Amino acid sequence: MPRLTAPDTSVASHGMARMKAAVPLYAIKTKAHLGELTFRRRAMANSQARLVGRYALEPEIDLDAFNCRAVVDWLTICFWLGRKTQFQWLQDDIEAVLGRKPFVQPLSEEPGGVADKFDVRIQEPDLRKIRAACDLVGAKYGLEMLPFIRAIEISVDFTPKQPDDGKRAKLFTVLTRHFWTDRDVISGHFDRPRFTWGKNKEETGHVLRHIEGGPEGVNESLLISTVRDRSPFVDSNYYIGAKGSDISWRIMDKVIDTQNHRAGTAIQLDEADKRVRIEVTLDRPAVSAIGLTHLKDLARMRFARLQGMFFTFMLPTFVDVGKVGRSVNSAIKAWHDQQRVAKFLQTGVIGLKAMDDARELQAMHLRKQERRLLVAQGLKMKRPPRVGTQKAGTFLAYDELNGRVSDALRHLGARVAAAFPEE
Q: Do the Cβ atoms of 98 and 171 come closer than 8 Å?
A: no
Q: Is residue 127 in a domain?
A: yes
User: From the centroid of its chain, how far is CA 325?
Assistant: 38
Cα distance between residue 138 and residue 146, in whole Å: 9
Q: Does 7 have pLDDT greater than 70?
A: no
What's the pLDDT at 265?
A: 57
Q: Is residue 155 in a domain?
A: yes
Cα distance between residue 85 and residue 113, in whole Å: 8
Q: Is residue 210 in a domain?
A: no
Sign of CA dihedral 252, 188, 316, 246: positive
What's the pLDDT at 339?
A: 92
Rg over CA atoms, the chain:
25
The larger pLDDT score, comparing residue 338 to residue 247, is at 247
Query: Mind listing the pLDDT tens digit for each residue in 49-108?
Result: 777 888 999 999 999 999 999 999 999 999 999 999 999 999 999 999 999 999 999 998
Q: Is residue 149 in a domain?
A: yes
Q: Is residue 238 in a domain?
A: no
**Cα→Cα distances 25→22, 49, 164, 203, 339, Å:** 10, 35, 14, 19, 21
Q: Do the Cβ atoms of 406 and 304 come closer than 8 Å?
A: yes
What's the pLDDT at 360?
A: 87
Q: Which residue range is the domain that position 157 belongs to?
A: 65-175+243-316+398-423
> What are phi and psi for residue 326, nearest 5 degrees?
-110, 115
Rounded to two decimals, the pTM is 0.88
Evaluate the omega torsion of the peptide bond into residue 102 and state whether it is cis, within 30 degrees of 0: no
Q: Render the burial of 65-76: b for 16+ CB within 10 Å, e for the rest.
A: ebebbbbbbbbb
Q: Is residue 55 in a domain?
A: no
Number of domains in the chain: 1
Q: Is residue 111 in a domain?
A: yes
What's the pLDDT at 19?
A: 57
Q: Does 261 have pLDDT greater than 60?
A: no
Q: Does 233 have pLDDT greater than 90?
A: yes
Q: Is residue 263 in a domain?
A: yes
